[in-house]
Amino acid sequence: MERIRITVGLGSCGIASGAKIVYEALKEKTQKLNVQIVKVGCIGICRYEPIVEIYKDGNRITYINVSEKDVEDIIEKTIKNNEIIESLSLKEENNNILNDPFLKRQTRIVLENCGKINPENIDEYGGYKALRKALKMDKDEIIHEVKESKLRGRGGAGFKTGDKWSLVKASAGDKKYVCCNADEGDPGAFMDRAILEGDPHSVIEAMIIAGYAVGASEGFIYVREEYPLAVERLKVAIKQAQSKKYLGKNILNSGFNFNLELRLGAGAFVCGEETALMASIEGKRGEPRLRPPYPAEKGVYNSPTLLNNVETFANIPIIILNGSAWFNSLGTDKSGGTKVFALGGKIKNTGLVEVPIGTELKEIIYDIGGGIANDKKFKAAQTGGPSGGCIPASLINVKMDYDNLKEIGTMMGSGGLIVTDEDTCMVDIAKFFLDFAVSESCGKCTPCRIGTKRVYEILDKITKGKGTIEDLENLDNLSKHIQATSFCGLGQTATNPVLSTMRYFKEEYISHIVEKKCPAKVCKDLLKYKINKELCKACGLCAKNCPVNAIIKTDDKYEIDESKCIKCGACFNNCHFKAIEKE
């Protein structure tokens, strides 16, 4: 009888939901059965974790939100008796997760293996076929394929990958490096984590191919320390690739040598900038330096260096295997393939979404994401993280590609897609990103170091109800100056969230300044708490919870003394009758 395969999603998100306990329990209780328990990465629908999938007689049965107590049932009913457990199953067709509307509408190339194969077993990855093919190709032919694929950098700026490769190849030098930027610093993006945790060999294989094509013999993966599981899986994967002779000397008898090392980041957003990242690889302060010379000429240890991001690399094996024509049949005229978005925020279905470049935002939010959570109204989508901007509801038909997003004042970035609703204050969001910029500015240049702080202060003033109309002009001026005069990409893009929210949500700024009101009821200082006497049952819970005794009993009802109220919201959170209202 064929061996039954059971996979457990053991990405960071799965583990956080308790998947490890489920995995251990399944392992222990199936010892005497003809069953193989396999750990896999994150499939990208984290709210379903822990996910257990049973591959049996050609079927794939998906169970979601599994806990330890379900393990016995799964074994007795499903494994032994082919019975589906209704309470755990997805209600989709054939109980297969691939029929879930969230996944069904996606085009999964990069994430294909995530959640399917065991990332810690090189044999499940598929034999490094792309590397074998590439080693028989001419180097220029490989670069030509990458160029023709119209692949563009998935890390942020969208530089043409093939052009970068040919620049590094053309650079003179005996020693060259290939680096992978796995310092996924954009808060809200986690596709690189999913790839590294779920399919690390795709990145390693791509780096070896890149090394061969551009003539590099050494590589670094610069991965952030905040991703311990990704680091662990990369270590295992590198070791396995070495033992299979895909790494090291004379790879697959081609005469080509390539070594790969990990470098751990230590938590600095600016290290996503290429020259800063390279300084950090060398163990120094991650400060950016002037370009030119570009890393293609002088990068790590002053040698020509090719630097691509995780997702960019993860596209390479499939381009080599299926050819550029196949790849660029997806996407737009100028940009081939797919993009992975990390869909999060106030949306029903959160998770990783891989769609062809050029897909409409509307499709991502409504058809895949299921619309806004709690039936609220869609306000804007934030893309590009702290360097990006927002897409307002009026532009929901925008086709998501590098150039379109740039035109409307935001950017593709690494693919964070954060959905906001009517309860999100856009001034507060801008302030959040500026706070981020202030603390992540490396301090090398003045516009970024001091300018971002000043912008933050103005925003802070506005959210506290102390802003003036002149502040709007100052914000605009200062933001544009910082954009024009900062040294590196961090500063040049740091004020994008301000400019973009001012462009599309100016009336919200004006409400804060003129009416001293926060329409989304987020900015605490502008809030007023009031007791709705109709709803108040005079239970006294609010008064009991008020830390400053601002709630007093008058007649038979309660009232808030505004002069004493510190707007902590304790009464609001504690009222059982929704009688406390924010204004």
Partner 1 sequence: MNKEIDEIIKNSESLIEMLQKIQKIDGYLYFERLFYLSEKLDMSLEDIYSTATFYNGFSFNMKGKYQINICLGTVCYVKGSKELSEEISKILNIKDGECTKDGKFSLDTTRCLGCCSMAPVMKINDDIYGFVKKEQVKEILAKYN
Interacting residue ranges for partner 1, rule: CB under 8 A: 12-13, 15-17, 45-47, 184-190, 193, 225-228, 261, 263-269, 280-287, 342-346, 350-352, 382, 385-386, 416, 418, 420, 424, 429, 432-433, 436, 440, 442, 573
Cross-sheet strand order for the sheet of 218-223? 259-264, 218-223, 177-182, 305-309
Which CB atom, from 209 or from 417, has the smaller least distance to partner 1?
A: 417
Q: Which is nearer to partner 1, 127 or 228 (CB)?
A: 228
Residue type for 117, please?
I
The DSSP symbol for 366 reads I
Nearer of residues 145 and 440 to partner 1, judged by Cβ: 440
Query: How far is residue 574 from each of residues 92, 155, 543, measured CA to CA in Å?
Result: 39, 44, 10
Smallest distance from the beta carbon of 423 to partner 1, in angstroms? 9
Shortest CB 345 distance to partner 1, Å:
5
**Least distance to partner 1, CB of residue 393, Å:** 16
**Token pair for residue 444?**
């090398």
Residue 34 near residue 75, CB atoms below 8 Å? no
Rounded Cα gap, residues 539 and 571, in angstroms: 12
Length of the chain, in residues: 583
Pick between residue 121 and residue 217 the one whose CB is nearest to partner 1. 217
CB-wise, 386 or 467, nearer to partner 1? 386
Q: Which residue, 46 or 213, has its beta carbon nearer to partner 1? A: 46
CA–CA separation, 510 and 397 (whole Å): 27
Quote the tokens at residue 208: 């070896």
Q: In the bound complex, what is the minimum distance in angstroms from residue 9's beta carbon to partner 1?
A: 12
Min dist CB 464 to partner 1, Å, is 16
Min CB(285)–partner 1 separation in Å: 4
Q: How near is the Cβ of 49 to partner 1 at its closest, in Å?
A: 8
Least Å distance, CB 36 to partner 1, is: 27
Non-local CB neighbours of 114 within 8 Å, separated by 6+ positions: 11, 40, 41, 42, 43, 44, 194, 195, 197, 198, 199, 352
Backbone angles phi, psi at 162, to 5 degrees: -60, -40
Q: Report how far residue 490's alpha carbon sits from residue 445's, in angstroms, rounded to the nearest whole number.
A: 11
Phi, psi of 380 (to 5 degrees): -160, 160
Contacts 24+ apart (CB under 8 A), 572-575: 572/529, 574/541, 574/542, 574/545, 575/541, 575/542
Nearer to partner 1, 158 or 344 (CB): 344
Backbone angles phi, psi at 82, to 5 degrees: 55, 25
**Maximum Cα interatomic distance, the chain, rounded to a whole number of Å:** 92
Q: Is 354 helix (H, G, I), strand (E, B) or coil?
A: strand
- In the complex, minimum distance from the CB of residue 416 to partner 1, in angstroms, rounded to a whole number: 7
Residue 457 C-alpha from the chain's centroid: 28
Toward partner 1, which CB reaches closer, 442 or 526? 442
- Beta carbon nearer to partner 1, 74 or 281: 281
Q: How far is the CB of 440 from partner 1 (least distance, A)?
A: 8
Q: Dig out the tokens for 528 from the structure.
A: 């007023």
Rounded distance, CA 332 to CA 397, Å?
Answer: 16
Residue 162 or 386 having the CB closest to partner 1: 386
